[in-house]
Amino acid sequence: MLLIAVRVPQIIWPGRFWAEEGSIYFREAYTSNLWDVLTNSNLGYYSLFTKISSIIAAHVVPLEFSPIITMSFSLIAQVLPVWLLLYSKIPSLSSRFYKLVAVGIILFMQPNQEVWLNTINSQFFLFISTAIILISEPNNKLTHIIRLGILGLAGLTGVVSCLLLPFFVFEYIWTRKKYKLYETIMLTTVTTIQLVIVINGAGRDMYLDFKVLPFVLLVKQWILPMLGSKVADIFSNYVKEYHLYFNYFYVFTVLFPYIIFTIGLIIWGNRHSWILFGASITIASISFFTSVEAQIADRILGHLSSLGGGRYYYGPNVLMGLALLIPFSKNSDKYIQLRRYFRISCIILICLILTNGIYDFINSKYRHPWFFTGPSWPVEVEKWRKSKKDELKIWPRPWIMVLEK
């Protein structure tokens, strides 16, 4: 929690509202009655966690301190997967050392700047929490109840956690454990509710650009987290300059890392590493096809960079990192030498992820001003009270919040 807080202290104090978190959710909570807030869906899906935090922020504290409340909620969401890692039984991460490496992957995995301490992107940390519940066991009855509550909250906060439902079904069929049945039922229930809301809402179209997808996945899931934003942008610019996505030879070539690791995990992998690896690729692809940028065809190439659409890839990338951390079945003795090389490769990739992530974390020049600078909320509130205008500036620039006096 301390590391999360000290990265950008101005988010902690005096606080900030981030994009739709302020312009839609807080504004709605501040100006509408409680029933309308809780029964209305926004952005094409339902987001319970963001609504609860906004309601408390709007009605429990003075306006000057409202973003402190939403920040506190987002801090809880960001810490939640770490709590689950440390206080659940995870056979695939049996030692304390492996769990601490997993904590490091959650904290430092790139790209994470856009999802840092704001409730509108807390759904991605709830998604990681859902994935950890998927591969873990409750310590006791109380932990089991808490985990069910987390699944319910995650499923009603965005759709990304709901996409893990098929993997929960698979895990229950494989294990036949009673607590897995309850977890699957809970996620099925909230997924059904979310699905009804999405179908009846505005929704989003899917722009199926299969030529660009492999390059985006290579940049977002391999080059960016392991080699950094500069290398990712150099490669992305080269791809866009020479339109390599129109050449099917290059399209299949950039899938090479996925092919190699799929083969490796099939031969030597732990079941949970298969699940996490498959979920990572599946959900990153779905996110690409249904992203905001995908709704406008000429903007989809914005994902082919270190910056564009980063929020969609942080969660899948964490799952990828965890899959690399737990790739080995204890009873596999096939191809011992190749197995050793595969293990070394995984260790090298994890070291690259952590090294690059820590460097990005501590080096202020890599903090994009779009994510980590913005107007002072108390100053904006003071101006709002004195002005005839109903607009307050929020993060990122030039976003505003309209609050009628």
Question: Between 252 and 331, whose confidence is greater?
Answer: 252
Whether 53 is covered by a domain: the verdict is: yes
Instruction: Give CA–CA dist 102/392, Å, rounded.
Output: 40
Whether 107 is covered by a domain: the verdict is: no
Residue among 299, 321, 312 nearest 212 (CA)? 299
Does 210 lie in the same domain as 174? no
Whether 348 is covered by a domain: the verdict is: yes
φ, ψ for residue 311, nearest 5 deg: -60, -30
Whether 212 is covered by a domain: the verdict is: yes
Does 91 lie in the same domain as 152? yes
Angle at 356 between CA 354 and CA 360, to 5 degrees: 115
Band (330; pLDDT cuts 50, 70, 90): low
Domain encompassing residue 306:
204-368
Whether 43 is covered by a domain: the verdict is: yes
67, 377 contact by CB (below 8 A): yes
213, 301 contact by CB (below 8 A): no
Give the single-character DSSP code of 162.
Answer: G
Quick one: pLDDT at residue 334? 64
Question: Between 192 and 366, whose confidence is greater?
Answer: 192
Instruction: Give CA–CA dist 262/260, Å, rounded.
Output: 6
Structural domains counted in the chain? 2
188 CB burial (10 A radius; 0-12, 13-18, 19+): middle
Quick one: pLDDT at residue 296? 75
Does 263 lie in the same domain as 150? no
Q: Which residues pair with 393 in a beta bridge?
A: 400
30, 130 contact by CB (below 8 A): no
pLDDT above 70: percentage of residues in the chain: 97
**Residue 181 three-state SS:** helix
Question: Between 91 and 111, whose confidence is greater?
Answer: 111
Quick one: pLDDT at residue 203? 64
Does 199 lie in the same domain as 307? no
83, 30 contact by CB (below 8 A): no
Whether 110 is covered by a domain: the verdict is: no
Kindly give the residue spans of alpha helices, DSSP state H, lying in 90-121.
96-108
Instruction: Answer whether residue 202 shows pLDDT above 80.
Output: no
Quick one: pLDDT at residue 333? 62
φ, ψ for residue 304, nearest 5 deg: -85, 65
Does 147 lie in the same domain as 165? yes
Quick one: pLDDT at residue 367? 85
Does 330 lie in the same domain as 239? yes
pLDDT digits (tens, 9 = 90+) for 22-67: 999 999 999 999 999 999 999 889 999 999 999 999 999 999 999 9
Instruction: Give CA–CA dist 396/120, Å, rounded.
Output: 13
The CA distances from residue 228 to 190, 206, 217, 239, in Å, are 37, 29, 14, 17
Task: Give the max Cα distance, the chain.
Answer: 74
pTM for the whole structure? 0.96
Does 321 lie in the same domain as 257? yes
187, 280 contact by CB (below 8 A): no
53, 73 contact by CB (below 8 A): yes
Kindly give the residue spans of alpha helices, DSSP state H, lying in 156-220.
165-175, 178-200, 213-218
Does 291 lie in the same domain as 142? no
Does 293 lie in the same domain as 175? no
Instruction: Answer whether residue 186 shows pLDDT above 80.
Output: yes
pLDDT digits (tens, 9 = 90+) for 283-309: 999 999 988 887 776 788 899 999 999
Band (347; pLDDT cuts 50, 70, 90): very high
pLDDT digits (tens, 9 = 90+) for 39-49: 999 988 999 99
68, 77 contact by CB (below 8 A): no
Average pLDDT, the chain: 93
Does 296 lie in the same domain as 260? yes
Asked which of 102-111, 144-153, 193-202, 272-281 is least confident by mean pLDDT, the reply is: 193-202
Whether 106 is covered by a domain: the verdict is: no
Instruction: Give CA–CA dist 87/95, Å, rounded.
Output: 12
Whether 54 is covered by a domain: the verdict is: yes
Consecutive H or E run containing 11: helix 9-12
Instruction: Answer whether residue 280 shows pLDDT above 90.
Output: yes
Does 187 lie in the same domain as 302? no
3-state secondary structure 348-377: HHHHHHHHHHHHHHHCHHHCCHHHHCCCCH
Instruction: Give CA–CA dist 71/15, Å, rounded.
Output: 7
Instruction: Give CA–CA dist 404/389, Å, rounded.
Output: 8
Instruction: Answer whether residue 218 shows pLDDT above 90.
Output: yes
Quick one: pLDDT at residue 297? 66
pLDDT above 90: percentage of residues in the chain: 82
Asked which of 2-11, 165-174, 247-256, 364-373 is least confident by mean pLDDT, the reply is: 364-373
16, 393 contact by CB (below 8 A): no
Asked which of 11-20, 70-79, 187-196, 204-213 is least confident by mean pLDDT, the reply is: 204-213
Band (201; pLDDT cuts 50, 70, 90): confident
Does 276 lie in the same domain as 307? yes
Give the single-character DSSP code of 109.
Answer: P
